[in-house]
Homo-oligomer: A and B are copies of this chain.
Amino acid sequence: VLQATRPTAVNLGWALARLRGVWRAACSRGAAPRDIASLLREAADRLHREDTAMCRRIGEAGLALVPRGATILTHCNTGVLATGGIGTALGVVYTAHAMGRAVRVIATETRPLRQGARLTAWELSRAGVPVNVIADSAAASLMAQGEVDLVVTGADRIAANGDTANKIGTYMLAVLADAHRIPFYVAAPMSTFDPSLPDGAGIPIERRDPAELDAAPGVEARNPAFDMTPARLIGAIITDRGVLRAPYAEAIDAVMGEHADGPRA
C-alpha cells in the first residue's frame, strides 16, 4: 500500500525494501512480533540518521557549484519538510547560506499542489534565507532578465544514463535554463538512482486527480505529476557521493560500483 502511493519516485521503494529485508530475516529466525517491531523501528531510525547525513553530504558537494551572491531558482519542495535532514536541492541552498555565500532563492509556486509557495517559501523564510515566490510560468522571463544564476531541483528517479524524473515543470525549467545558458543541476541521494532502467523512457509518470487543477465544470484536466528531463540538459548531478558530470552512464556506474552492497547500504 505504501509503495503504491509513489509510482514515479524510487527512494520510498528502496527504503521499504530495506525494512522488508529486516522483517524477513527476523521472521526466518522465528523472532517474536514485539522484537520484530523493535528491529523495524531501529532500522527506520538508522534510515533517518543516514538520510540526515546524506543530505549534509549533498549540501557539501553542491557548495562548489554555488557562487557567492547567487540567485538560485528551485522547484517544488526538497528541504526539511521532504527529507530526514536539510534536504537535497534545498540542502545545497542551506549549506551555501550557512557558509555565508549570501544566496537568494526564487521558489516556483509548483502547481497544482503549490509545494513551492506553501512549503519551500515557508521553510526558507523561517531559516532566514531570502526567498521570493513566482508563478511557474514567470521563470522564463526572470531568466531572460538575468535574474537567475543557477537552477537546482531534486529528483524522484534517475535512470542509468542520467535521465531524471521529477515534479512536473522540472523539464520546463531545464529547457528554459538551456535556452538562457543558465546552469541546471539535479541534487539527489544515491537511493534515487535506478540502474535497472537504461534511460528515462522506462520511468512511470504518475497521473494525479484532474480535480487538482480545478478546471471549469465539464472540462477534463490532464495532470501528470512528474516529467522527464533528459541527461543532456543536466549540467551536473549533486549526490551524497560527490558531483557527477556527463557522461552520466559512466559516472553513475563508477560511484554505484564503489559500493557493491547497493545504494547507500
A interface residues, Cβ below 8 angstroms from B: 106, 108-112, 114, 117-119, 121-122, 124-125, 131-142, 144, 168-169, 171-172, 175-176, 178-179, 213-224, 227-228
Indicate the member of A108, A134, A144, A178 with the most B CB atoms within 10 Å: A134
Is B135 within 8 A of A136, CB to CB? yes
What are 13 A-B contacts defined by CB distance under 8 Å?
Answer: A109-B215, A111-B111, A111-B135, A117-B213, A121-B219, A133-B219, A138-B223, A138-B227, A140-B175, A141-B168, A142-B222, A144-B171, A175-B176
Q: Known contacts A111-B109, A133-B222, A179-B175; is A168 also within 8 Å of B138 by CB?
A: yes
Q: Known contacts A135-B136, A168-B135, A222-B134; is A109 also within 8 Å of B141 by CB?
A: no
Q: Which of B138, B215, B218 contacts A222 (CB 8 A)?
A: B138
* Copies of this chain, whole number: 2
Chain B residues within an 8 Å CB radius of A133: 213, 215-216, 219-222
Chain B residues within an 8 Å CB radius of A213: 109, 117, 133-135
In the complex, A109 Cα to B168 Cα: how many Å? 14
Chain B residues within an 8 Å CB radius of A114: 214
User: In angstroms, how far is the closest chain B Cβ from the Cβ of A141?
Assistant: 4
User: In angstroms, how far is the closest chain B Cβ from the Cβ of A172?
Assistant: 4
User: In angstroms, how far is the closest chain B Cβ from the Cβ of A223?
Assistant: 7
User: In angstroms, how far is the closest chain B Cβ from the Cβ of A181?
Assistant: 12
In the complex, A168 Cα to B137 Cα: how many Å? 6
Chain B residues within an 8 Å CB radius of A138: 168-169, 172, 222-224, 227
Is B175 within 8 A of A223, CB to CB? no
Is A135 within 8 A of B179, CB to CB? no
In the complex, A111 Cα to B213 Cα: how many Å? 11
User: In angstroms, how far is the closest chain B Cβ from the Cβ of A176?
Assistant: 6
User: In angstroms, how far is the closest chain B Cβ from the Cβ of A118?
Assistant: 6
Indicate the member of A106, A140, A217 with the most B CB atoms within 10 Å: A140
User: In angstroms, how far is the closest chain B Cβ from the Cβ of A138?
Assistant: 5
Chain B residues within an 8 Å CB radius of A134: 213, 221-223
In the complex, A215 Cα to B142 Cα: how many Å? 18
Is A219 within 8 A of B122, CB to CB? yes
Chain B residues within an 8 Å CB radius of A117: 213-216, 219, 221
User: In angstroms, how far is the closest chain B Cβ from the Cβ of A173?
Assistant: 8
Q: Known contacts A131-B219, A224-B141; is A136 also within 8 Å of B111 by CB?
A: yes
Q: Known contacts A122-B216, A125-B216; is A227 also within 8 Å of B135 by CB?
A: no
In the complex, A135 Cα to B224 Cα: how many Å? 9
